[in-house]
């Protein structure tokens, strides 16, 4: 059975384009008073705000990538959307419902792939899948889902004997078995080989094309670049950047680099609108990559430019720039 053949009927339920909505969401943690073992002094109670006024919308029929720098609050935000905790302030709606207070209206319409999960070691792959199948309201067939993630041939293997990649594929199969209207993928392709990653993304893309909303967190920036309709980058508890890939990189210059040539006059290189940094290497930052590169090549003529590299503005550049921003407190 093909991947797209599995998912043929559009999900039902409340018809609003906004599948997940966060409005002014905050989440604080309080650390209890404790005694410092080195000094003997008591450390007072402290409060840390991990999520600081986040506004976020994930629409039906789109894949939204939520990226985060270290300690950005991304995991805390995802936990709130999953309904694992209530926000300290603000409002969250998943398919029009509070994911904590109205969990019964949300749970059977969502699928979640966590960063790590555990399966009963005594169960085989097929037994685990059937057990999960029995908890769902409108599940897809067990055999078809195992086949879709290339686990049909491992159906009789105990889950504790699966490789890390196989366990990850089983995670995804169980999440997709619910035929979810909202799918939350928390680092779903960690530990997967390229072929398995392509298989998983084929299934997820089919779900999006049918109108489901997918929220993805990933450390693989190229996945976000290739797959996401919109992207948000969290830093220090807030959304630092949000938009389509083109919108996010719009203000970031492309870069041309090459080794400083000995026999060319840099004063004759005309690069209007670009910034040129000269050391042993020439670095040109430009908003118009093709035009500037053409000017560089014309200037060089028959001279070979060592280590010539031209690279369009990338999500990685933006992400690293966000990561370098100083932490602020609201």
Domains observed in the chain: 3-8+16-30+47-248 (3.40.50.300), 253-312 (3.30.70)
The predicted pLDDT at position 192 comes to 86
125 sits in which H/E element? helix 125-133
201 contacts 222 by C-beta, under 8 angstroms:
no
If you average pLDDT over residues 153-178, what whole number do you get? Answer: 92
Q: What is the 3-state secondary structure (H, E, C) of the chain?
A: CCHHHHCCCCCCCCCCCEEEEEEEEEEEEEECCEECCCCCCEECCEEEEEEEEEEEEEECCCEEEEEECCCCCHHHHHHHHHCCCCCCEEEEEECCECCCCCHHHHHHHEEEECCCCCCCCCCEHHHHHHHHHCCCCCCCCHHHHHHHCCCHHHCCCEHHHCCHHHHHHHHHHHHHHCCCCEEEEECCCCCCCHHHHHHHHHHHHHHHHCCCEEEEECCCHHHHHHHCCEEEEEECCEEEEEECHHHHHCCCCEEEEEECCCCCCHHHCCCCCCEEEECCEEEEEECCHHHHHHHHHHHHCCCCCCCCEEECCCHHHHHHHHHCCCCCCC
Portion of the chain with pLDDT greater than 90, in percent:
75
191 contacts 218 by C-beta, under 8 angstroms:
no
The Cα–Cα gap between 236 and 323 comes to 9
Residue 286 pLDDT class (50, 70, 90 cuts): very high
Comparison of pLDDT for 116 and 251, the residue scoring more: 251
On the question of pLDDT at 36 being above 80, the answer is: no
Range of lowest pLDDT (40-54, 72-86, 222-236): 40-54
- For residue range 241-258, what is the model confidence (pLDDT) as tens digits? 999 999 999 999 999 999
pTM of the model: 0.83
Residue reference for tokens 């398919």: 95
Mean pLDDT of the chain: 90
On the question of pLDDT at 99 being above 90, the answer is: yes
Residue 16 pLDDT class (50, 70, 90 cuts): low
Range of lowest pLDDT (39-53, 162-176, 266-280, 314-328): 39-53
Range of lowest pLDDT (72-86, 105-119, 135-149): 105-119
On the question of pLDDT at 4 being above 70, the answer is: no
The predicted pLDDT at position 78 comes to 95
CB environment 25-60: b (16+ within 10 A), e (fewer): bbbeeeeeeeeeeeeeeeeeeeeebbbbbbebbbbb
- Cα 13 vs. chain centroid, distance in angstroms? 26
Residue reference for tokens 């960690």: 190
């Amino acid at each position: 059975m093909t991947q797209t053949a599995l998912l043929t009927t559009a999900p039902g339920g409340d018809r609003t384009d906004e599948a997940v909505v966060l409005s002014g969401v905050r989440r604080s943690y309080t650390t209890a008073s404790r005694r410092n073992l080195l000094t003997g002094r008591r450390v007072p109670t402290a409060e840390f705000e991990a999520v600081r006024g986040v506004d976020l919308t994930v629409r039906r029929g789109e894949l939204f990538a939520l990226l985060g720098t270290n300690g950005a609050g991304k995991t805390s935000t995802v936990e709130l959307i999953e309904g694992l905790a209530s926000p300290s302030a603000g409002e969250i709606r998943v398919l029009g419902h509070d994911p904590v207070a109205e969990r019964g209206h949300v749970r059977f319409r969502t699928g979640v792939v966590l960063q790590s999960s555990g399966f009963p070691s005594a169960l085989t792959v097929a037994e685990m899948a059937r057990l999960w199948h029995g908890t769902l309201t409108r599940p897809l067939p067990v055999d078809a889902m195992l086949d879709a993630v290339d686990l049909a041939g491992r159906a009789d293997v105990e889950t504790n004997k699966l490789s890390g990649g196989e366990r990850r594929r089983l995670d995804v199969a169980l999440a997709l078995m619910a035929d979810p209207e909202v799918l939350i993928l928390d680092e779903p392709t960690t530990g997967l080989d390229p072929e398995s990653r392509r298989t998983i993304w084929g299934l997820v893309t089919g779900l999006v094309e049918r109108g489901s909303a997918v929220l993805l967190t990933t450390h693989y920036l190229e996945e976000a670049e290739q797959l996401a309709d919109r992207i948000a980058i969290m830093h220090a508890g807030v959304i630092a950047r949000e938009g389509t890939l083109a919108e996010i990189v719009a203000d970031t210059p492309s870069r041309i680099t090459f080794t400083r040539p000995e026999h060319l006059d840099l004063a004759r290189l005309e690069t209007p609108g670009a910034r040129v940094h000269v050391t042993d290497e020439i670095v040109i930052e430009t908003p118009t990559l093709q035009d500037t590169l053409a000017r560089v090549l014309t200037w060089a003529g028959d001279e070979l430019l060592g280590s010539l590299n031209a690279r369009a503005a990338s999500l990685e550049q933006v992400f690293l720039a966000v990561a370098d921003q100083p932490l602020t407190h609201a």
